[in-house]
Amino acid sequence: MKKLKVAIFALFTILFLGFSQTSAEAHSPDLHEGVSGQDVTELQSTLKKLGYFQTTPTGYYGSITKNAVIQFQRDFNVPATGFTGSLTRAKLSDVDMMARVVHGEARGENYTGQVAVAAVILNRIDSSLFPNSTYNVIFQRNAFTAVNDGQYGLKPNSTAYQAVKAAVKGWDPSLGATYYYNPSGVTDTWIFSRTTITKIGKHVFAK
């Protein structure tokens, strides 16, 4: 019973974290050239992990930050305005959620394996069998172990962000998979009924 209470508490904590994150992103101010502050520092840090911001975060939104934002917008199919309007903030939130899943589920895997996990999220969004948004796919009940056990709350590293970027730009090492699992950690044998597509590291990718 104690373990169940801990698991339930962890799940509600993660769900609150996800909701708070998306809600905060939705109400964040537009960032543009000339502004400064913690919001800019956080933006620069994310852009740095994605490989767009090549220097130390300063908290000032100058031309370097603007150009990094434009590169992000182009790669993630957002109008390249150079400032963080609502569409860009929403996309940054999606990227962060995906990076948390990749880090929580596959940080022990090689880079290809991490890209494959990110690709599975995108494949689910594109599939009529799953929810059609990043948030709803990630927080679908029992969809990802990292959400259930609290590892979603860990801070993703640059590799996780780069894996998300690679998947969004079209690399899919999972070959279209909508499921993946580690055979040694399976608790529900139903997953073995899925058609195996490929295996990368410890993960089997399936449909």
Q: Which residues pair with 205 in a beta bridge?
A: 180, 198
Residue in the block written with tokens 């009529």: 128
Is there a common fold for 2-30+85-206 and 32-84? Answer: no
Tell whether the model's pLDDT for residue 9 goes beyond 50: no
**Would you place residue 187 in the very low, low, confident or very high pLDDT band (cuts 50, 70, 90)?**
confident
- The CATH number of domain 2-30+85-206, selected from 1.20.1330.10, 1.10.10.2520, 3.40.50.2000, 2.40.10.340: 1.10.10.2520
What residue type is 108 in one-letter code?
G
Q: Where are the domains of the chain?
A: 2-30+85-206, 32-84
Classified by CATH at the fold level, domain 32-84 comes out as Muramoyl-pentapeptide Carboxypeptidase; domain 1 (1.10.101)
**Would you place residue 8 in the very low, low, confident or very high pLDDT band (cuts 50, 70, 90)?**
low
What residue type is 39 in one-letter code?
D
3-state DSSP of the chain: CHHHHHHHHHHHHHHHHHHHHHHHHHHCCCCCCCCECHHHHHHHHHHHHCCCCCCCCCCECCHHHHHHHHHHHHHCCCCCCCCCCHHHHHHHHHHHHHHHHHHHHHCCCCHHHHHHHHHHHHHHHHCCCCCCCHHHHHCCCCCCHHHHHCHHHCCCCHHHHHHHHHHHCCCCCCCCCCEEECHHHCCCHHHHHCCEEEEECCEEEEC
**How distant, in Å, are the alpha carbons of 27, 124, 126, 163 from that of 170?**
30, 14, 13, 11
CA separation for the pair 41, 48 (Å, rounded) = 10
Residues 54-105 have pLDDT tens digits of 999 999 999 999 999 999 999 999 999 999 999 999 999 999 999 999 999 9
Question: What average pLDDT does the chain have?
Answer: 90
What is the token pair recorded at 52?
């767009």
pTM of the complete model:
0.85
**pLDDT cut 70: percent of the chain above it:** 86
**Would you place residue 28 in the very low, low, confident or very high pLDDT band (cuts 50, 70, 90)?**
low
